A and B are shown apart, each in its own frame.
Chain A
Amino acid sequence: MVELVLGGRTEAFEPLVTPYRRLLLTLAYRLCRNVEEAKEISQETLLRAFRYLGSFDRKRSFKNWLLQIEMNVWRSLGARAADEGTLRELAVENTAEDPEEKLAGNEVRERLLACLDGLSPREREVFLLRDIEGRNIKETAGVLRTSEISVRVHLSRARAKIRELVKERFPGLMEGQR
């Protein structure tokens, strides 16, 4: 399908990326915690994927390649704002006004966001890719363009923090899993 797109049949791009549309948007949302920002990140990811499709290595996983682009976009567009806490404020505002978000289930989302809030941007990236998206350590390192050792270090810290946060704020969440 990649060859078709590169051969000029651009309509083949849609079936190529449709299986990942939810994944990209949800991951972007978990990273930046704002629907509009997530759409922007996801959109930029798809545009870049289309633009640089020629440089995609066919031996690699297309999904991991898309995730890698999204992480780069998130770092260039959203990470700084998220660190400053502005997106979090925007998310709360938008949630109150946006009917789509209400439908998605604010309570569930807020609980997850509250857990992710306590992590640093790098810990959040590693935790989301490894524990939520199910990438293994090697794939996570490849997507984030870092070493496996670095992934292990951040993952270890992230899990320890998550345990403390859940235990402290949402003990019911742990009870439900035992």
Chain B
Amino acid sequence: MNCSGARKWIPLYAGADLSVRKNRRLEKHLEKCASCGREIEELRAALDGVRAVASRESIDWPEAEWRGLMARVKSKRPEARPVSPFGAIPRKAWAYGLAIVLVVGIAALILRSIFRPAAAPLLSEIMTATPAQPSRALKIDNAPSMNNPRDVPFRVQRYQAERLDLATLAAGPAPEKATQNLMSLTLVSQETGLKVHWTFNRNFEWKEKKP
């Protein structure tokens, strides 16, 4: 640091108002510069002189004027305190509250994306591998479109997968993991009685069977 740089900081240094870092740098310079040191002494002496003058100088209200002023003040009413439902809460509390809400919200979004439940397994994945033979024992569920037989020339026999699964499991050996490799669908014509039996494999490739 040179003298011109130091002189910019000297006025604040003289009143101990310089930041710690600048203070240290200036003191390093003062160790080797007597001229700047003298300048600080002069400045401190000037400030002390003005302070000494100021401490001797003080003016006060004449008592009568002070009493008159107080009487005038007391004759008035202070304005009502501003009433606000949020006024009692300091600004800092609002800021902290908002920050907490934001942080919690962001954390919730992150956690949700991390721990999102895996998509429900396909029915075909949880059912055992079995040829889905239509069975009379299974409950037939009429599709709503079958209400008017004139519109659709056949009836869909939909077999409930769960029951099919249970029935098949009871009949065959229990597999280690429940998966379904095949699914069947039978269409029955209302007019002709023709039945079309579709069998879908795991890849949804189908075979048609006409009994």
Contacts and interface: CB of A to CB of B under 8 A. Distances in A.
Interface of A: 5-6, 10-11, 13-14, 21-22, 25-26, 29-30, 35, 38-39, 42-43, 46-47, 50-55, 100, 104-105, 108-109, 111-112, 115, 130-132, 137, 152, 155-160, 162-163, 166-167, 170, 173-178
A105 B54 CA distance: 11
Q: For the side of the interface on B, what is the size category?
A: 35 or more
A149 B17 CA distance: 11
B102 to A, nearest CB: 26
A132 B54 contact: yes
Contacts of A6: 78, 81
Interface string B123-163: 00000000000000000000000000000000000000000
Where chain A touches its partner, the secondary structure class is helix
A104 B58 CA distance: 7
Contacts of B14: 159
B53 A47 contact: no
A131 B73 contact: no
Nearest to A2: B78
A50 to B, nearest CB: 5
Contacts of A158: 11
Given A43-B69, A131-B15, A38 B8 contact: no
Interface string B13-46: 0110100000000000000000000000111111
Contacts of A54: 78-82
Given A53-B78, A137-B17, A35 B59 contact: yes
